[in-house]
Chain A
């Protein structure tokens, strides 16, 4: 049993449970970011380094930024300074920070100490993924681009007049 995998899996389950049970959206978002980082660590231990990098960049980066912006826009009518103060008490960020520290410890252990070189039976690198993407899966890539275009157009259409109060 791989210790890195076990630790990351425990962190993922704990943080996902916290996501489901929080009442304030920003607290849940903090735990959701930790959960995505833990799943990225699991990807790394499975030998899928490319998927791990994409998980951090797109999921924990881009999609979570979208969530944060929308949560910030949703309750603009309350007193902003008070809200920021109540969101930033140590009781709120101590839990996600602790779980992130566990993941950072794993990263240091695997990267600097050099224990993470061979963790998977067979590592599947970005070269193999790229060759598969633009070889047999070329049509699926085109369909994905079409899906993204549809998402872009519908998000633009829906968000066009949402700022004017309907």
Chain B
């Protein structure tokens, strides 16, 4: 069993990022858009780890940790916003989110 080529991992990261981007663009439900953003952030972390594995350095995993922190903070604020929007109006359609006057 040979070693993993980091180029393949970068390719996988690109595919996952594209899927997440398609999810953000296609779906109009806020929960699904948040999930797709999570997929995209995860793909970014995978690209960082693959880069770190290419050079045998720890920097890639350090950047993955920072991306993890960003994802945790982003998802807590995003979910709190979704809960607030849900209590103000009974829909999760992002297209009606421009009517900000409560």
Contacts and interface: CB of A to CB of B under 8 A. Distances in A.
Interface in A97-154: 115, 119-122, 124, 128-129, 131-133, 137, 140, 144, 147-148, 150-152, 154
Interface of A: 1-5, 9, 12-13, 16-17, 19-20, 22, 25, 28-29, 32, 35-36, 39, 42-43, 45-48, 50-51, 54-55, 58-59, 62-63, 66-67, 70-71, 73-74, 115, 119-122, 124, 128-129, 131-133, 137, 140, 144, 147-148, 150-152, 154-155, 158-159, 162-166
27 contacts: A2-B3, A3-B1, A5-B9, A12-B16, A16-B20, A19-B35, A28-B35, A32-B35, A32-B39, A39-B42, A43-B46, A48-B49, A48-B64, A50-B61, A51-B64, A58-B72, A66-B75, A67-B31, A70-B79, A74-B31, A121-B56, A133-B65, A144-B70, A151-B74, A155-B77, A158-B77, A159-B83
A63 B39 CA distance: 12
A90 B68 CA distance: 33
Nearest to B5: A1
Contacts of B68: 54-55, 58-59
Contacts of A163: 87
A39 B20 CA distance: 14
A20 B79 CA distance: 18
Contacts of A25: 29, 31-32
A54 B102 CA distance: 40
Task: Please classify how large the interface on chain B is, using the bins under 10, 10 to 19, 20 to 34, 35 or more.
Answer: 35 or more
A20 B53 contact: no
A9 B11 CA distance: 10
Contact of A2 (B4, B15, B72): B4
B58 to A, nearest CB: 4
Nearest to A118: B3
The 4 A-B pairs at the shortest CB distance, nearest first, are namely A151-B73, A122-B56, A158-B80, A20-B23
A141 B75 CA distance: 19
A132 B69 contact: no
A128 B65 CA distance: 13
